[in-house]
Amino acid sequence: MSKMKPKRGASASQAAAHICTSGVTFARLLNEGVIKRQPRDVGYDLDEVRKARLQQLERAAAGRGGESVDTLVEERIKLTRARRKREEMQAEIEAGQRVRIEPVQHALEGMLIGVRNRLLGLPGAMAHLVEMRTRDDAFHVLDEAVREALEEIADPAFAAASAARAGDYL
């Protein structure tokens, strides 16, 4: 009397082909526990494999499972945070708690160029006033001119006017 072998299920590669995936994807599904791993001598029941894969795909489509879904959820969270941060910053700008750097930079550059030009022009403007004077007299004339230039630069009204002009560039 011959012993009959019990009917064996499909191999892993046959099961992968049955659900239209590669062997690598099938192995990933096994590792994730989507499909229950079977010993080689038992094999895979194709109906069970198909059912498990379809359930996994339905969960993923509903947003309730899968690695790609987790990545998508993380990306949505990051996007939501970025939007919220951008809106908070815009609200702070509108409330005057923050300023844009470009107009401030432009105003400062303009003021520094004005200071530079004013100070570079002093020797030429003062040369005729100090010629033929004593050292002390020349010092006082130059000191007065430099202080006048620095006071003009330090004038709050001057700085406010420059900042207001910079605001026109927003």
Give the C-alpha distances (Å, rounded to integers) separating 122 from 14, 116, 130, 141, 148: 91, 10, 12, 11, 11
* CA–CA gap between residue 135 and residue 142 (Å, rounded): 11
pLDDT, residue 65, reads 58
* CA–CA gap between residue 115 and residue 153 (Å, rounded): 7
Please, are residues 126 and 142 in contact by the beta-carbon 8 Å criterion?
Answer: yes
Which of 74, 14, 95 has the alpha carbon at shortest distance from 49?
Answer: 14
The pLDDT tens digits of the residues spanning 3-35 come to 555 567 889 999 999 999 999 999 999 998 999
Angle (deg, nearest 10), helices 135-154 and 101-130:
160
* CA–CA gap between residue 112 and residue 38 (Å, rounded): 77
Which of 158, 148, 141 has the alpha carbon at shortest distance from 107?
Answer: 158
pLDDT, residue 49, reads 92
**In the block, which residue shows the tokens 């489509």?**
61
The pLDDT tens digits of the residues spanning 138-152 come to 888 888 888 887 887
Question: CB neighbours (10 Å) of residue 166?
Answer: 21
Maximum average pLDDT range among 66-70, 88-92, 100-104, 121-125: 88-92
Q: What's the mean per-residue pLDDT of the chain?
A: 81
Kind plus residue range of the DSSP H or E element containing 40? none
The pLDDT tens digits of the residues spanning 43-81 come to 999 999 999 999 888 887 776 655 565 677 788 899 999
Tokens of 163: 């900042």
Task: Tell whether pTM > 0.75.
Answer: no
